[in-house]
Structure 1
Amino acid sequence: MKIEIWSDVACPWCYIGKRRFEAALAEFPHRDAVEVQWRSYQLDPSLPEHYDGTELDYLSTRKGMAPEQVSQMFDHVAAQARGEGLDYRFDAVVVANSFTAHRLIHLAAAHGKQDAAKERLLSDHFEHGQDIGSRDYLTGLGGELGLDAGAVAELFTSDKYADDVRQDFAEARALGISGVPFFVIDRKFGLSGAQPSATFSMALERAWQDAHPLAMVNAGGPGTEDGTEKDGGACGPQGCAV
């Protein structure tokens, strides 16, 4: 079973959704048969590489929200994050374009370290005030993830993985995704937002049953003179067969 998750490392609900999904997956009996793939999405592709201002300034000026409304939103989201063991510090968030960070995630995916890269970027952005658009920060993170220094440097001297990121954007549009996080299971089931873990659990179970329907054993097999199998003894609403 394959689960694709569209999200932005600059999205606070995406980190909360990641934690809730992970809690559900940890309890899923068939978790070892589940492949998780992180897909890129940008909430604001027009954001400059670096923005001179706080997260509150950004949302209130560029998004047209009143500062008081933004502060209330921060308090609510931070409380939800604490419920998942996360320590959001919106006052320290560095506003930056996430495009190169997404390219780093694709590079990490090529080396089997996609989830580790995603986790670090989300945590560093929302909990530790790191600049996810900074070359120095991304280079250091690549080293900590064990990625080749030359491959990381290439992110800043070429368009490597840029087309992969844009392809993720295009697929999101094709699927009608307009907000993140968004979870797609086997390209059949979709869940929007940071749903409760119980909702993720139900979705996982439904998708698994859909992909592995109950199959009858020995139906129509040999065993009688006409080559068909008699039904085994069973009971129903009208009584028991003899």
Structure 2
Amino acid sequence: MKVEIWSDIACPWCYIGKRRFETALGNFEHRDGIEVEWRSYQLDPTLPEHYDGTETEYLSQIKGMPQAQVRQMFDHVTAQAAGEGLDYDFDKIVVANSFTAHRFLHLAKEHGLMDQAKEALLSGHFEHGEDIGSIDYLARAGAALGLDEAEIREALQGNRFADEVRADIAEARALGVTGVPFFVLDRKYGISGAQPAEVFSQALAQAWAERSPLTVLSGSPDGPACGPEGCN
């Protein structure tokens, strides 16, 4: 069964949602039969390559909120992240457009390393103050995962995987996704937001049960039927 997850690297709830989903998946008895696919999404595609200011100033500006209120929001999110073992530091965050980072993730996907790359970028952005808009950082992060640094730089300095990122975003719109993280199970169920692990567990169990092979009742002889070889 496939689980598709639309998320943005610059989304604090996306990292928390990733951890909560992983907790549910780790406890799911059929976890080996689950394929997870990360899909690209941008919360603010209009953001310049880099914003000359802090995360507090940026959100205060785009949301029209006092900076003190933004800081209260950060405190709440930081506490929620800590509950999942994550150490957010909003004072370190480099505010940058995530489009290039999403292209990097598609390159990692081509090499079967998208989940590892997603984890690295989310941690780099929210815990270590790395610049997700920097090709130098992305090349370094990719090399640490075993990707070829020259290939990373060539891909990101050009326009490679731009169409794939845009296609992910367009598909999200077509599905009615207006916020992330957004989880789609077997193209049948959608879950919006960083829900508790218990919600993901219930959804996995329900989606799996509904796609399981039909149970044929036993205890009586087969009735008359037709097959490839004819009828009986």
Compute the TM-score of the two structures, normalised by the length of structure 1: 0.90
| Structure 2 Cα separation of the partners of residues 87 and 49 of structure 1 | 25
The residue number in structure 1 matching 2:63 is 63
Query: Aligned partner of 2:154: which letter?
Result: E
Q: Alignment identity in percent?
A: 64
The residue number in structure 2 matching 1:49 is 49
The reply to whether residue 144 of structure 1 matches residue 157 of structure 2 is no
Query: Aligned partner of 1:168: which letter?
Result: D
Cα distance per residue 1:124-171 (max 9 Å; x no partner)? 000000011012111111111111223201233321100000000000
Deviation at 1:213, TM superposition (A): 5.3
Give secondary structure in 2 for the equivalent of 1:183. strand
| Structure 1 Cα separation of the partners of residues 108 and 155 of structure 2 | 12
| Structure 1 Cα separation of the partners of residues 110 and 135 of structure 2 | 20
The residue number in structure 1 matching 2:229 is none
Aligned pairs (5 A) from 1:28-177: 28-177=28-177
| Structure 2 Cα separation of the partners of residues 88 and 221 of structure 1 | 63
The residue number in structure 2 matching 1:21 is 21
Query: Aligned partner of 1:71: which letter?
Result: R
The residue number in structure 2 matching 1:203 is 203
Contact 1:104–1:152, Cα closer than 8 Å, also in 2:
yes
Deviation at 1:84, TM superposition (A): 0.3
| Structure 2 Cα separation of the partners of residues 190 and 165 of structure 1 | 20
Query: Aligned partner of 2:108: which letter?
Result: A
Cα distance per residue 1:40-74 (max 9 Å; x no partner)? 00000011111110000000112211111101100
Give secondary structure in 2 for the equivalent of 1:6. strand
Give secondary structure in 2 for the equivalent of 1:190. strand
Query: Aligned partner of 1:171: which letter?
Result: E
| Structure 2 Cα separation of the partners of residues 94 and 76 of structure 1 | 20
Query: Aligned partner of 1:96: which letter?
Result: A
More deviation, 151-160/189-198: 151-160
Query: Aligned partner of 1:6: which letter?
Result: W
| Structure 1 Cα separation of the partners of residues 149 and 128 of structure 2 | 23
Give secondary structure in 2 for the equivalent of 1:90. coil
Give secondary structure in 2 for the equivalent of 1:191. strand
Query: Aligned partner of 1:87: which letter?
Result: D
Which one has the largest radius of gyration? 1
The reply to whether residue 2 of structure 1 matches residue 28 of structure 2 is no
Give secondary structure in 2 for the equivalent of 1:194. coil
More deviation, 206-215/43-52: 206-215
| Structure 2 Cα separation of the partners of residues 179 and 32 of structure 1 | 28
- Runs of 4+ with >4 A deviation: none
Query: What's the RMSD between the two structures over aligned residues?
Result: 1.5
Deviation at 1:199, TM superposition (A): 0.3
Equivalent pairs, count: 225
Contact 1:96–1:131, Cα closer than 8 Å, also in 2:
yes
